[in-house]
């Protein structure tokens, strides 16, 4: 057994001449344990919120989107896109035609983004989870087109999906309109469509009006071109590798984005919030770790005679320093391991029973704090504690050899 570790272990469990040393060591260990447990729990809660938010966004955001690098639309009737539709790697391929239009309901009107989608859009999972009223359908039972309205648009227009008589009226400028018509309305295409439901995700999406692709083509006077193609791949396919291959195949004329690139601001916010909390809790943890300096300083004073004996027996300064370094590391890492275990147990109980509540339930969130465990968080906490423990214990261990010659003379 390593000599330094063996002696340090004896010091850790042996009775000290001054009881205050035991108390300070216990407080240091307790502080590290609480800090480590808090880090694990908070990071796991943020993971839970992140997974929940992304799950909601992913219900309407495709894994891959293809859009033209220049202009608003492109012709999808090419050999490559036709092959892409038949690819076994593709789970759903949604053709999209989107444009701004004026939407009117009753006496109210507002501009909105009309997004026409093909039937594959309905293959997106968890569409029901974003609905606050009605259902997510694009056609009624007799095949008539229906629209799904974003909550921001609904709030302004006061849309009621349960009203079978009131329809949304959508106005879009005709292609080639000069604006010189005697009746200004002759320059617009106006179509009516019934609202089927209301969805809510986030402000960037909640001003959308989702309609069937055929309806959007008639409204916008666009017979063949598309604004984008949205793709979801099969579960066993690597979406990032597939995206990279499609991007290489299409070249510079098209922009191919994954989910992170489509919602870069969202991912940045989620990541920065988690890291800010980690930094704040780490500062608190550092304060607890550096309590070990006081504990080791008192231990050095208590063990001056032992230090002198070891020195007389031929122990060098390096060995004596390593003894107290190992002592400090054992105190803090013991607290860290206990803290990680406590944090893990709490997270598992919260996942299973949901004891800690957030208050009133939300239509998107359960009223229990979500938990998602990631092994990287456990490694991060252990490495963080180990790093700062090594610094604190190293500073304190230097005191053990600083005045060793004087100690030998005095004793």
Query: Does residue 217 share a domain with residue 92?
Result: yes
Of 199, 57, 92, nearest to 136 by C-alpha is 199
Query: Does residue 213 share a domain with residue 301?
Result: no
**DSSP type of residue 160:** -
Range of the domain at 215: 64-259
Residue 130 has pLDDT above 50, yes or no: yes
Query: Does residue 210 share a domain with residue 310?
Result: no
At 336-366, the pLDDT tens digits run: 999 999 999 999 999 888 888 876 545 445 5
Query: Does residue 221 share a domain with residue 89?
Result: yes
Query: Does residue 111 share a domain with residue 15?
Result: no
Among 259, 289, 320, the domain boundary falls at 259
Query: Does residue 124 share a domain with residue 187?
Result: yes
Q: How many CB atoms lie within 10 A of CB 356?
A: 14
Position 1 scores a pLDDT of 47
Among 259, 286, 319, the domain boundary falls at 259
**DSSP type of residue 354:** -
Q: What is the pTM of this model?
A: 0.73
Query: Does residue 282 share a domain with residue 165?
Result: no
| Percentage above 90 pLDDT, the chain | 39
Q: Which residues of 205-215 are buried (b: 16+ CB within 10 A; e: fewer)?
A: bbbbbbbbbeb
Among 259, 281, 315, the domain boundary falls at 259
Query: Does residue 253 share a domain with residue 160?
Result: yes
Number of structural domains (the chain) is 2
Query: Does residue 166 share a domain with residue 95?
Result: yes
Query: Does residue 100 share a domain with residue 40?
Result: no
Could you list the beta-strand ranges (E) of 26-80. Answer: 64-68
Q: What is the dihedral of CA 32, 34, 37, 38, to 10 degrees?
A: -110
Residue 257 has pLDDT above 60, yes or no: yes
Query: Does residue 97 share a domain with residue 34?
Result: no
At 158-200, the pLDDT tens digits run: 998 988 888 999 999 887 655 555 556 667 889 999 999 999 8
Query: Does residue 276 share a domain with residue 172?
Result: no
At 75-106, the pLDDT tens digits run: 999 999 999 988 999 999 999 999 999 999 98
Question: Which of 52-56, 286-290, 307-311, 382-386 has the lowest average pLDDT?
Answer: 307-311
Position 147 scores a pLDDT of 94
């Amino acid at each position: 057994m390593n000599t330094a570790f063996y002696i340090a272990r004896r010091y850790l469990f042996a009775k000290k001449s001054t009881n205050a040393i035991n108390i300070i060591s216990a407080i240091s260990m307790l502080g590290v344990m609480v800090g480590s447990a808090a880090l694990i729990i908070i990071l796991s809660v943020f993971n839970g919120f992140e997974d929940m938010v992304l799950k909601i966004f992913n219900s309407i955001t495709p894994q891959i989107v293809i859009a033209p690098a220049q202009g608003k639309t492109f012709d999808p009737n090419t050999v490559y896109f036709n092959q892409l539709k038949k690819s076994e790697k593709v789970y759903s391929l949604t053709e999209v035609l989107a444009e701004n239009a004026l939407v009117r309901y009753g006496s109210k009107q507002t501009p909105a983004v009309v997004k026409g989608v093909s039937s594959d859009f309905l293959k997106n999972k968890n569409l029901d989870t974003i609905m606050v009223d009605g259902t997510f359908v694009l056609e009624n039972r007799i095949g008539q087109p229906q629209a799904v309205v974003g909550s921001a648009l609904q709030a302004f227009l006061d849309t009621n999906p349960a009203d079978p008589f009131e329809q949304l009226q959508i106005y879009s400028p005709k292609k080639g309109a000069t604006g010189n018509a005697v009746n200004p309305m002759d320059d617009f295409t106006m179509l009516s469509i019934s609202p089927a439901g209301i969805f809510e995700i986030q402000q960037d999406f909640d001003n959308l009006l989702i309609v069937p692709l055929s309806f959007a083509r008639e409204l916008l006077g666009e017979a063949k071109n598309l604004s984008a193609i949205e793709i979801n791949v099969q579960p066993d396919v690597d979406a990032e590798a597939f995206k990279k291959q499609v991007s290489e195949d299409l070249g510079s004329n098209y922009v191919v984005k994954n989910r992170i690139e489509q919602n870069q601001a969202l991912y940045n916010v989620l990541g920065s919030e988690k890291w800010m909390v980690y930094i704040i809790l780490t500062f608190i943890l550092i304060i607890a770790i550096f309590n070990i300096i006081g504990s080791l300083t008192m231990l050095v004073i208590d063990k001056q005679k032992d230090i002198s004996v070891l020195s007389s027996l031929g122990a060098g300064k390096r060995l004596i320093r390593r003894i107290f370094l190992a002592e400090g590391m054992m105190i803090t890492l013991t607290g860290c391991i206990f803290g990680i275990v406590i944090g893990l147990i709490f997270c598992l109980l919260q996942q299973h029973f949901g004891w800690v509540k957030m208050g009133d339930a939300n239509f998107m969130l359960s009223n229990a704090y979500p938990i998602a465990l990631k092994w990287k968080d456990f490694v991060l906490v252990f490495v963080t504690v180990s790093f700062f423990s090594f610094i604190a214990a190293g500073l304190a261990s230097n005191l053990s050899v600083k005045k060793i010659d004087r100690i030998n003379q005095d004793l």
